[in-house]
Structure 1
């Protein structure tokens, strides 16, 4: 998604959460990372168009 926002010129910031960080895991490890992407209210419509475009 971030590449679509960048291509459309939408400014954004991200926050990541690793939901399995506190567990000891064995390989292969599943990627349970959650990425939250934030855009300004002014860019919200532009971001929605960018995300849903082909």
Structure 2
């Protein structure tokens, strides 16, 4: 399997984009990737 670069957007409760980022993944809906996305958000995005 080859990894491909895709972009994803993570939306907040009001459907506002929290951040945009490029990530290497095969299937970005894979739970492991989602966990990495959430860790990225928790580390770099301030919560209300």
**Bigger share in strand:** 2
Does the TM-score normalized on the shorter chain lie above 0.5? no
**Bigger share in helix:** 1
Larger Rg: 1
- Using the size of structure 1 for normalisation, the TM-score is 0.25
